[in-house]
């Protein structure tokens, strides 16, 4: 009798806890002492983006400690950027023991802006544009290099044959004549670009990928004349297929982002294209302002390029000394673009480049479609199973149905309590559990039927049915639990959700069918003197 009291107490506690966490799902306006926890929906149900980043150390020689610091800094900077981006409840997590960061942005409909924002190293640099002689020298050097190594750069071969009979076109319009025979038919690099009235040189949209490949090739970069670099200009947002500028710059940065105090977006009120529209105002720190004053003062007439993440945003000619430590970046900006650039400039530059290695976005329409579909499938499946059990096992089937219903509420309650997230695979796991949850009861009921058929009394048939079935149920469920645990270990996001609901469902179904249903049976048998069991 004491055992029964303990059992009753356990059932009561489980039911109360289940009700405490489950009811808010279905009943609005609960008294204030009720839990405020709600079951969170995964990104696949509410819509949003998940982006996984990797801090890239391939080109750096940092010690383990420095790497760890770099990852921490990257994490902080990205968090700052995301916070200012303005998404409700973003989640930013480091993946333990890796150089990876996972970002979840609920409700985002198009991830491209966020990706841009996150991926920017935000390396701000000011570099001088090379002289025309240096440009000429660079083009010749690169033409020669490609001519000699053309077999390594097969994607450039379309520029080889076309040149053979062509005369040397002096791209920079200088008077210099070249006698170099080998150079005469080797303008592979120069032909990649187009010159319009001398400077600046441009590159057609269709060739940009080739230039990028060249610039990423260490061998190619090594052969650029000492102290110089080749850089690509900013793309035109209004016409992404238009040609882009190509610049030859001095490698040495005169000023970098570390001298920056603040950046803000401003809207130009002028009438010319240059003065109209949004631009970025840079304000240097004291030391930076001094440097900037000196540099501009000493180099009037030179072109100073403003570079962000290796992309040249503009390269204006210095017209006068700039004393107040302020600089403007103008250009074909959209207001969003300006806003995002200001965010990254102010959050600081990343200690190492980050690469997006995985991204998954679910739009709000697909998300809500999934929820509706999931609830529909769960309801119909549940009703089918409940009806079947009542028809097949009559009153006992009804008890099993109570167990199934309690189990579903139990899964939701435990997920809420653990602050878990419900995903589409999670709903699938729950639906599967509905089907499998009745299994324990089926095993028990079949045993009881057998014992009744063998002539046992109701009391003893029920007792031995439950006792004997217990071993089977434990063995069968523990093996399923093993696979669920493995799934949890191996899974990423949604699959983890599936494993969690499945595991909770298995534990819940064992409790419901072995403890709860047994208690109902016991109550029924003790309180009535029936000689027939409805099973």
The footprint of another protein on residues 380-419 (CB under 8 A) is: 380-382, 384-385, 388-389, 391-394
Calculated CA dihedral for residues 368, 373, 376, 378, nearest 10 degrees = -110
Neighbours of 469 (CB within 10 A): 21
Answer for the pair 341, 116: CB distance below 8 angstroms, yes or no: no
Residue 446 makes contact with another protein by CB under 8 A: yes
Cβ 328 to another protein shortest distance, Å: 28
Query: Which CB, 343 or 354, lies closer to another protein?
Result: 354
- Measured from the CB atom, is 393 or 410 closer to another protein? 393
Does residue 431 interact with another protein by CB under 8 A?
yes
Q: List the end-to-end C-alpha distance of the chain, in Å, as a whole number.
A: 26
> According to CB under 8 A, which one of 252, 294, 460, 492 is a site residue for another protein?
492
Candidates 41, 50, 114; CA nearest to 361 is 50
* 495: contact with another protein by CB under 8 A: yes
User: CB 482 → another protein: shortest distance, Å?
Assistant: 4
- Tokens 């208690």 belong to 519
Rounded least distance, CB 532 to another protein, Å: 15
How far is residue 409's CA from residue 357's CA, in Å, rounded to a whole number?
Answer: 38
Please tell me whether residue 439 binds another protein under the rule CB under 8 A: yes
Which backbone phi and psi does 61 adopt, to 5 degrees? -115, 65
Residue count of the chain, please give it. 535
Residues 264-323 that bind another protein (CB under 8 A): none
Shortest Cβ 354–another protein spacing (Å): 10
Residue with smaller CB distance to another protein, 174 or 492: 492
* Contact predicate 169/194, CB 8 Å: no
| Among positions 12, 264, 273, 373, the unique one binding another protein when judged by CB under 8 A | 373
* Cα gap 441→153, rounded to integer Å: 69
Q: Does 428 bind another protein (CB under 8 A)?
A: yes
**What is the nearest approach in angstroms of another protein to the Cβ of residue 318?**
33
Q: How far is the CB of 60 from another protein (least distance, A)?
A: 17
Look up residue 515 and give its DSSP letter. I
For residue 510, give every residue at least 6 positions away whose Cβ sits within 8 Å of its Cβ, in sequence order, or none: 440, 473, 474, 477
Kindly state whether residue 376 participates in binding another protein, applying the rule CB under 8 A.
yes
Residue closer to another protein by CB (options 117, 295) is 117
Stretch that binds another protein, among 89-97, 144-152, 299-307, 442-450 (CB under 8 A): 442-450
Indicate the residue among 90 and 119 with the shorter CB distance to another protein: 119
Cβ–Cβ under 8 Å, residues 48 and 359: no
- Nearest-angstrom CA–CA distance, 290 and 329: 19
Query: Which of 194, 293, 480, 519 lies at the binding interface for another protein (CB under 8 A)?
Result: 480
Helices 424-453 and 493-510: crossing angle in degrees, nearest 10, is 20
Number of residues near another protein (by CB under 8 A): 84
The footprint of another protein on residues 173-232 (CB under 8 A) is 206, 209, 212
For residue 360, how many C-alpha atoms fall within 13 Å in the half-sphere facing its CB? 13
**Closer Cβ to another protein, 157 or 355, answer by number:** 355
Cβ 102 vs Cβ 43: under 8 Å: no
Task: Give dist(CA 396, CA 350) in Å, integer.
Answer: 65
Residues 104-143 close enough to bind another protein by CB under 8 A: 109-112, 115, 119
Taking the complex as a whole, how short is the minimal distance between the CB of residue 409 and another protein, in angstroms?
17
Q: Look-up: residue for tokens 């900077």?
A: 77
Q: Binding of another protein at residue 464 (CB under 8 A)?
A: no
- Quick note: the x/- pattern for another protein over 330-369, rule CB under 8 A, is -------------------------xxxxxxxxxxxx--x
């Amino acid at each position: 009798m004491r055992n029964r009291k303990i059992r009753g107490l356990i059932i009561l506690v489980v039911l109360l806890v289940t009700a405490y966490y489950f009811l808010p799902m279905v009943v609005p306006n609960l008294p204030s002492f009720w839990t405020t926890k709600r079951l969170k929906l995964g990104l696949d149900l509410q819509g949003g983006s998940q982006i996984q980043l990797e801090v890239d150390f391939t080109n750096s020689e940092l010690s383990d400690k420095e790497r760890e610091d770099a990852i921490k800094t990257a994490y902080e900077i990205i968090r700052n950027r995301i916070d200012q981006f303005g998404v409700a409840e973003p989640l930013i997590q480091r993946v333990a023991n890796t150089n990876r960061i996972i970002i979840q942005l609920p409700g985002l409909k198009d991830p491209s802006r966020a990706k841009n924002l996150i991926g920017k190293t935000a390396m701000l640099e000011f570099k001088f544009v090379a002289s025309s002689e240096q440009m000429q020298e660079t083009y010749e050097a690169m033409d020669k290099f490609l001519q000699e190594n053309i077999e390594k750069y097969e994607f450039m071969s379309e520029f080889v044959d076309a040149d053979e009979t062509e005369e040397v076109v002096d791209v920079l319009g200088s008077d210099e004549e070249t006698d170099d025979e080998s150079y005469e038919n080797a303008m592979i690099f120069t032909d990649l670009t187009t010159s319009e009235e001398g400077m600046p040189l441009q590159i057609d949209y269709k060739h940009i990928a080739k230039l990028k490949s060249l610039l990423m090739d260490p061998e190619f970069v090594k052969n650029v004349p000492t102290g110089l670099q080749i850089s690509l200009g900013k793309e035109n947002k209004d016409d992404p297929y238009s040609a882009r500028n190509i610049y030859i710059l001095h490698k040495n940065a005169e000023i970098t982002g570390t001298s920056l105090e603040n950046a803000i977006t401003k809207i130009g009120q002028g009438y010319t294209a240059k003065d109209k529209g949004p631009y970025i105002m840079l304000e240097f720190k004291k030391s930076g302002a001094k440097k900037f004053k000196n540099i501009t003062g000493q180099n009037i007439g030179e072109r100073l390029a403003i570079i962000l993440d290796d992309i040249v945003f503009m390269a204006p000619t210095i017209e006068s000394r700039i004393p107040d430590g302020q600089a403007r970046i103008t250009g074909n900006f959209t207001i969003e673009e300006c806003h995002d650039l200001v965010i990254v400039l102010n959050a600081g530059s990343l200690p190492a480049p980050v690469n997006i290695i995985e991204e998954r976005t679910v739009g709000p329409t697909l998300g809500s479609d999934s929820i509706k579909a999931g609830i529909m499938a769960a309801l119909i499946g549940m009703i089918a199973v409940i009806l079947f059990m009542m028809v097949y096992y009559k009153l006992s089937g009804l008890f099993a149905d109570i167990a199934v219903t309690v189990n579903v509420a139990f899964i939701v309650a435990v997920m809420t309590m653990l602050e878990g997230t419900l995903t589409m695979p999670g709903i699938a796991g729950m639906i599967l559990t509905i089907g499998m949850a009745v299994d324990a009861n089926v095993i028990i009921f079949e045993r009881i039927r057998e014992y009744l058929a063998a002539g046992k009394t109701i009391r003893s048939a029920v007792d031995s049915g439950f006792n004997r079935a217990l071993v089977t149920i434990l063995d069968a469920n523990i093996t399923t639990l093993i696979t669920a645990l493995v799934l949890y270990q191996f899974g990423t996001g949604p699959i983890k959700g599936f494993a969690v609901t499945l595991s909770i469902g298995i534990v819940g179904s064992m409790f419901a069918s072995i403890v709860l249903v047994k208690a109902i049976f016991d109550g029924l048998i003790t309180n009535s003197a029936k000689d027939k069991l409805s099973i």
